[in-house]
Amino acid sequence: MPHMISVLIKKKDIDIFLKKLKEEYTVYGVKQKETGFYIFDEIETFSDPLDNYIPTLLPPKKYLFPQRETLLSFSTAPYPEVKPVIESKKQVIFGVRPCDIHGIKLLDKVFTADREDKNYTQKRANTIIIGIDCMKPCYKYAYCESVGCLDVEEGFDILLTDIGDCFYASIGTAQGEAIIRENACFTHAGKYEEEKICRMKEERKGRFEKKFLTDVSNLPSLFKNADNDPVWDELNDRCLGCGRCNIVCPTCYCFDVFDCVDLTMTSGERRRQWDACTLKDFSVVATGENFRPTRGQRLRHRFNRKFNYLMTKHSTSFCVGCGRCSRSCPVHIDVAETVNAVINNNKQK
């Protein structure tokens, strides 16, 4: 990345900045629910205590690849007509953590690979991502450092780092730079802030725990030989096949497609909605055969997508270490524990 200007914004000016952004964009950011959980939602203001938030219930993926979206509209009478529907609007996602920035980068890869999915890419092109960097571990489920997703070099338009009463803003794209140039809230960073940010990044290195017992780059070859690992039998007995891990994942993008017909029965829409490879009927064909009939097989497939299949195809881990799946699992299946079991069982072979 070419070295661009680095600037500062005072925390008290963030709301002015957001208000300015709202003139042109729908702005999404983090809110805390009464239950204590954090979510991404449309925001009016940035509340200061929220700079300590832990991963949101759902990742910001939902603004690029919504839970449900229309792909086509059609009418059948008198003559059939079908049109693509690609909904997108100018939006800012504010406060995206490095893990989720990595998640979006991975979705960028899968939706442009082979054949471009315009329903995703047009939303993506209309989206400004303003990240907030992490200087300390957020909660016990996270292992971003283990999968190389703590440091983030690209995938954001602007990345903010909390340096006290200010945010230090790194610029990732020309669009991010334009936004900053148009905004009087930003001032040039000096040598003092430059040095401070370097020192902070150096200091955070020791704070994040490496939870995997091997380097993530070793996982594809380990998983290739782990189809018969006893861990899958153990998980087969524990996993409920509920699909929660898929639904909360920033890099899961499997979907189902279905038609909805209007009451007139002559027009309707084709829509897609999130699907989950851990659900029982995910790979059932019309004749009734299920090619991954057990929960253990389906969970093994999910782990392989993260650490083997997609990782091999795209040369990068497809798990970003946010820990949402471990947090949301009703039977406490933990990704780091599972990966380490595979690593240990392989050593004993």
Partner 1 sequence: MISNNSIYLPEIAKIVSIRRLTELEKYFEIRLENQREFSFIPGQFVQLSVFGVGEAPISISSSPFDKDSIGVCIRRVGDVTSAIHRLEIDSYLGIRGPLGNGFPIEELKGKDILFIAGGLGLAPLRSMIYYVLEKRHDFGRVIILYGTKTPDEVLFRDEMETWNKTEGLELTVTTSRPDKNWSGKTGVVTRLIPFLKLDPQDTYALVVGPPVMYKYALLELQEKRIPATNIILSLERRMKCGVGKCGHCQVNGVYVCLDGPKFSYQTLKFLPEAL
Q: With binding defined as CB under 8 A, does residue 263 bind partner 1?
A: no
Cβ atoms of 167 and 185 within 8 Å: the answer is: no
Q: How far is 91 from 89, CA to CA, in rounded Å?
A: 6
Q: With binding defined as CB under 8 A, does residue 256 bind partner 1?
A: yes
Task: Tell me whether strands 158-162 and 127-132 are parallel, antiparallel or unpaired.
Answer: parallel
Query: Quick one: which of 120, 111, 161, 128 has its CA closest to 26?
Result: 128
Q: With binding defined as CB under 8 A, does residue 39 bind partner 1?
A: no
Q: With binding defined as CB under 8 A, does residue 125 bind partner 1?
A: no
Closest separation in Å from C-beta 63 to partner 1:
16
- Close Cβ partners of 16 (under 8 Å, ≥ 6 residues apart): 185
Q: Where does the chain have alpha helices with state H?
A: 14-24, 98-112, 118-125, 174-181, 191-204, 219-224, 230-238, 244-247, 295-304, 310-314, 324-328, 335-348
Cβ atoms of 27 and 92 within 8 Å: the answer is: yes
Q: How far is 17 from 7, CA to CA, in rounded Å?
A: 14
Q: With binding defined as CB under 8 A, does residue 265 bind partner 1?
A: yes
Closest separation in Å from C-beta 320 to partner 1:
18
| Residue span 131-150 as binding mask against partner 1, x where in contact by CB under 8 A, dash where not | --------------------
Q: With binding defined as CB under 8 A, does residue 294 bind partner 1?
A: no
| Residue span 207-236 as binding mask against partner 1, x where in contact by CB under 8 A, dash where not | --------------------x---------
Q: With binding defined as CB under 8 A, does residue 286 bind partner 1?
A: yes
Closest separation in Å from C-beta 72 to partner 1:
6
Footprint of partner 1 on this chain (CB under 8 A)?
A: 71-72, 74, 76, 79-88, 110-111, 113-119, 122, 227, 253-259, 261, 265, 268, 270, 272, 275, 277, 282-287, 289, 291-292, 297, 301, 304-305, 308-309, 312-313
